Structure 1
Amino acid sequence: MADSAWPGEQLVVAAQRGDVDSIAALVSGAHPNVQRFARSLCATPEDAEDAAQEALIILYRKIGMLRASGALASWMFRIVRNECLRRARTAMRDHPPLQDTAVASAEEEALQRLDAGRVAAAIAALPVDQRRVLIMRDVQGLSGRTVADALGLTTAAMKSRLHRARAALQLALRSAPGPLSGGNHDGNEG
């Protein structure tokens, strides 16, 4: 298994100061982690490779803009995530998904849209630190260690935030009126 340690803080600081050899070593040292992020976030292997390359180019060009040398992992994660999202939006715009051959009833379709909208709104209403950990862990399916590393947290702190986020989300979904609050769609409590 490849070493997943990020380049040391001393190398990051030297690269931030413009030392060309340090920048090259930083890009090279970050490459395995950036590729791992991209593979876990992008829809296709091709998009992952392109996103990783783009992220490393941004690292090379903008290392001086990184505010805290210890925040390299979370900064690179955000760059890769944004690049993967951009590629997914472009793919959806260029190639809309084919319609499912099974047709849901109009009522089922409307309820699914309401549920998805309510969940999205409830997630968006979470505090930013809880929202980030919930999306990375539960929506993107990243491992707890990866999420903790990307956010600069201990695993215990990440788990605590995730627990608070899940509890807040459940409370918001239970207390808001709509199809999800009763656990089923027929209006009967159960």
Structure 2
Amino acid sequence: MADPTWPGERLVTAAQRGDVEAIGALISGSYPNVQRFARSLCATPEDAEDAAQEALIILYRKIGMLRASGALASWMFRIVRNECLRRARTVLPSHTPPPDPPGGAVRSAEDEALERLEAGRVAAAVAALPADQRRVLVMRDIQGYSGRMVADALGLSTAAMKSRLHRARSAVRLAVRTVPGSTPGGDADEEAH
């Protein structure tokens, strides 16, 4: 079932065909969701607003490249995530890129689909965190700031920052491990036998 908070497929299709009114309606209809993504992923409100604006500019310029009209939400999430990461990289020293798959193997469409589902579950878990925990988790684990930098930026003691980070990591871990329809910890019981 489609998410009713996102613009409908008919509007997306019309925008893809170049209908100027549809493009305007698509951008204004997408803005609240894009802004919510950005606030959950970026470390500062300023970066979030900039990332949301950049994502909407990309939507305007490249709507015709969207393959499936029903994939707008996941496409916009990836754009916002990439923009937040790009902004974080400009502040932090560069990191080494992730390694290629073992043996240089090409990833299958199934692997990519599973990774997108997992990324969506992680993003939803992070977005569901209380704002104070989410900010600490994003700054420390996603943007890579040191514990001291995170604590200073948020006006916290190092102990308070570590406590929030631990609670946030635990909540995300639990949310990602819990499969809908199962009970948390069910796997551990089966392994004990």
Structure-1-length-normalised TM-score: 0.54
**One-letter code aligned to 2:112:** V
Distance 1:4 1:48, change over 3 A: farther
* In 2: Cα distance, 1:4 partner to 1:88 partner: 31
Kept in 2, the 8 Å contact 1:136–1:142? The answer is no
Secondary structure of the equivalent of 2:43? coil
Distance 1:86 1:8, change over 3 A: same
Q: 1:131 aligns with which of 115, 120, 131?
A: 115
Q: Which structure has the bigger radius of gyration?
A: 1
Question: How big is each residue's C-alpha offset from its partner over 1:48-91, in whole Å with a ceiling of 9 and x where there is no partner?
Answer: 00000000000011111111111111110110010011111111
* In 1: Cα distance, 2:64 partner to 2:112 partner: 26
* In 1: Cα distance, 2:37 partner to 2:4 partner: 11
Q: 1:142 aligns with which of 103, 121, 127?
A: 127
1:36 aligns with 2:36: yes
* Alpha-carbon RMSD: 3.6
Give the aligned length: 121
Question: What is the match of residue 51 of structure 1?
Answer: 51
Q: Which runs of 4+ in 1 moved over 2 A?
A: 127-140
Gaps of 5+ in 2: 95-101, 129-177, 183-187, 189-193
* In 2: Cα distance, 1:68 partner to 1:4 partner: 17
Question: What is the match of residue 156 of structure 1?
Answer: none
Question: What is the match of residue 83 of structure 2?
Answer: 83
Question: What is the match of residue 143 of structure 2?
Answer: none
* In 1: Cα distance, 2:67 partner to 2:117 partner: 21
**One-letter code aligned to 1:19:** D
Gaps of 5+ in 1: 95-120, 144-158, 164-169, 171-190
Question: What is the match of residue 74 of structure 2?
Answer: 74
Question: What is the match of residue 10 of structure 2?
Answer: 10
* In 1: Cα distance, 2:6 partner to 2:90 partner: 30
* In 2: Cα distance, 1:14 partner to 1:74 partner: 19
Secondary structure of the equivalent of 2:5? coil
